[in-house]
């Protein structure tokens, strides 16, 4: 089933997309609040805390009944599609979204619910949040995978000195603003319910290394890591874990000959696959990852570890 958030007859979304989603009141100890009395740490207090955590957070990979949204899942051989399939297999009720109506085909293939929306547009993100809530329920797992270039919005490879401001903004919006807008739309509900998982797709380009002519992309992906860590600290006391996965060279139908050669030059000796990235994402989405937050998991065949390539 597929829904186009732009075909609502012009009616505004119930959620005001220009305002952050509602969340819990400020926690004690915040600005303007009375200071908490110090708690004496005793073995009994520690044991009680562990018992509470053990009861509430079973170490399992299953996501039975949880609603998961995966953005950027329009390609049948991409990371978003592989991630949606894996979350579905773990029991989640999955929604996928892309900017084009080819999401119809992907949703039908996976047996999930598809939505069409431009995630760089505040109003459309708000309408998407309303539509998913109406159709599936409250989103508890969010995978911000959207960001790759498309035919309608191709990646610009140009040195900074030749890069226009509009080209810079387009790359930042596609790779960073989408993660910000989607996260902002759902974190209030996650915090209120006391559980949630957000996994952002970064890249090794930016946080780990960089290539000439890709400054905007590298800056955006480095920004994804910064957003991940800031959100993790904002939401940690509300039971919401936020992490990111940074893929290296991954083989898809869009891979160029140059990219494939780069993959063959990794220590493992081949490019990665979308399923291998999806496995890392799915783990971070699971209850089993309850003690991991604010982290970047690199999936690049060891390429970022090697100091030099020996022949």
For residue 118, give the nearest of 134, 138, 103, 97 by alpha carbon.
97
Find all residues with CB under 8 Å of 238, minimum gap 6, and list them. 23, 24, 190, 191, 194, 196
- CA-angle at 7, arms to 104 and 188, nearest 5°: 85
How far apart, in Å, do the first and last CA atoms of the chain sit? 52
Examine the residue annotation and report whether 81 is marked as an active-site residue of this protein. no
- CA-angle at 197, arms to 194 and 200, nearest 5°: 145
Catalytic residue among 81, 217, 251, 291: 217
Q: Which helix (H) or strand (E) holds 140?
A: strand 139-144
CA distances from 1 to 90, 206, 227 (A): 20, 36, 32
- What is the per-residue burial (b if ≥16 Cβ within 10 Å, else e) of 11-36? eebebebeeebebeeeeeeeeeeeee
Q: Classify 54 as helix, strand or coil.
A: helix
Residue 73: count of CB within 10 angstroms of its CB? 30
The Cα–Cα gap between 252 and 273 comes to 7
The Cα–Cα gap between 41 and 155 comes to 54
Find all residues with CB under 8 Å of 260, minimum gap 6, and list them. 249, 251, 271
- CA-angle at 304, arms to 300 and 308, nearest 5°: 125
Query: What amino acid positions are annotated as catalytic residues?
Result: 217
């Amino acid at each position: 089933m597929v829904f186009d958030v732009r075909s609502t007859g012009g009616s505004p979304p119930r959620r005001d997309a220009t305002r952050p989603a509602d969340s819990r009141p400020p926690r004690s100890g915040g600005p303007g609040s009375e200071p908490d009395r110090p708690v004496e740490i005793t073995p009994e207090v520690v044991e009680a805390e562990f018992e509470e955590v053990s009861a509430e957070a079973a170490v399992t990979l299953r996501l039975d009944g949880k609603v998961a949204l995966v953005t950027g899942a329009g390609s049948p051989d991409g990371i978003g599609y592989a991630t949606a399939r894996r979350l579905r297999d773990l029991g989640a009720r999955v929604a996928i979204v892309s900017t084009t109506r080819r999401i119809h085909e992907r949703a039908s293939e996976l047996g999930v619910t598809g939505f069409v929306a431009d995630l760089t547009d505040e109003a459309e993100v708000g309408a998407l949040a309303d539509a998913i809530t109406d159709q599936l329920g409250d989103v508890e797992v969010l995978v911000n995978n959207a960001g790759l270039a498309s035919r309608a919005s191709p990646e610009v490879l140009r040195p900074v000195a030749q890069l226009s401001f509009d080209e810079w903004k387009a790359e930042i919006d596609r790779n960073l603003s989408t993660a910000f807008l989607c996260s902002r739309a759902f974190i209030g509900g996650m915090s209120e319910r006391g559980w949630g998982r957000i996994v952002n797709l970064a890249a090794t380009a930016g946080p780990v290394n960089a290539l000439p002519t890709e400054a905007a992309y590298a800056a955006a992906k480095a920004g994804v890591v910064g957003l991940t860590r800031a959100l993790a600290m904002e939401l940690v006391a509300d039971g919401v874990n936020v992490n990111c996965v940074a893929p290296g060279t991954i083989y898809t139908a869009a891979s160029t000959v140059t990219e494939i050669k780069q993959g063959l030059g990794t220590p493992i000796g081949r490019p990665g696959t979308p399923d291998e990235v999806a496995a890392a994402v799915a783990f971070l989405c699971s209850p089993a990852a309850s003690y991991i937050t604010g982290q970047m998991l690199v999936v690049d065949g060891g390429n970022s570890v090697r100091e030099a390539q020996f022949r």
